[in-house]
Amino acid sequence: MAVSPSPTVFLIDDDAPVRDALSRLLRAHRFAVAAFASPKEFLEHYNPDTPGCLVLDLKMRGNGFGLQRTLQEKGSCRPIIFLTGHGDIPKSVQAVKGGAVDFLTKPVNDKDLLAAVRVAIEKDRTLRREQTDLSEIRARLATLTPCEREVLEYVVTGKLPLAELTNGVWHKRLYNQHKPPSPSQGKARRRRARATRLRPNGAIALVRMCAMASSTESVA
């Protein structure tokens, strides 16, 4: 199993003394730091697979908001902490709406910056874990037969109780009915009967899928 790289704080500021001072501060608190003088330089080395966060000067050449938009267009949800000596409420609102974790005014208080970086790294870790779980769900869905996928969709939408699928109660009830079914009842019973055609491990796989899919918006 591949080992994930350590989280990195990507520091982007065109003011060299500030960049150096913040780099020393972060490294002194055991953060891995990659420092860049411009958004262009950062993008030349950009690797979406490296976990971490951005500490980004808003008013540098290349514009901090411009880099935020560029990353969003690339599908990146990497958390961003904006730094600026010209902070105002409209800009902070714009930053937060764009997904920024925090908006700090220079000169930055050390404790505030360190706290914001810890929050941002934890947020990135959570987002990556959720993305991994979602990718696993999609991969497992791709292995289901059409019949198993249909049954899964019924379970997730509540049309087929999960307990009935796993303990076989519905199977006994279905075939112990003496009253001839109405057309609507017959359709429901045929739907349930499809579960009898699952592969030997199909029910187990479906139970796991249902548990995972319950945390997502859909199984599609």
pLDDT reported for residue 220: 47
Instruction: Say what the alpha-carbon torsion angle 18, 20, 21, 24 is, to the nearest 10 degrees.
Output: 150
pLDDT for 165: 60
Euclidean distance between CA atoms 43 and 71, whole angstroms = 9
Domains of the chain by residue range: 8-137, 143-213
- pLDDT, position 210: 56
CA 54/CA 13 separation, integer angstroms: 11
User: Which residue in the block uniquely carries the two structure tokens 């869905």?
Assistant: 141
pLDDT confidence of residue 52: 95
Q: What is the three-class DSSP state of 11?
A: strand
82-141, pLDDT tens digit by residue?
988 766 666 766 777 667 888 888 889 999 999 999 999 999 999 988 888 888 878 877
Query: What's the 3-state SS for 61-77?
Result: CCCHHHHHHHHHHCCCC
What does pTM read for this prediction?
0.66
The pLDDT of residue 122 is 95
Arch. (CATH architecture) of 8-137: 3-Layer(aba) Sandwich (3.40)
From residue 92, give the alpha-carbon distance in Å to each of 84, 89, 104, 213: 10, 5, 9, 36
Instruction: Tell me what pLDDT residue 219 has.
Output: 44
Per-block average pLDDT, block size 10, for the chain (220 residues)? Answer: 73 94 97 94 92 90 80 88 76 71 90 96 92 81 76 72 58 46 55 52 56 51
User: What are the residues whose beta carbons fall under 8 Å from the beta carbon of 153, sequence distance 6 or more?
Assistant: 219
Cα(62)–Cα(31) distance, integer angstroms? 26
Q: Where are the beta strands (DSSP E) in 61-215?
A: 80-84, 100-105
CA distance 83 to 103: 6
- By CB atoms closer than 10 A (0-12, 13-18, 19+), residue 57 is buried
Q: Which residues pair with 34 in a beta bridge?
A: 10
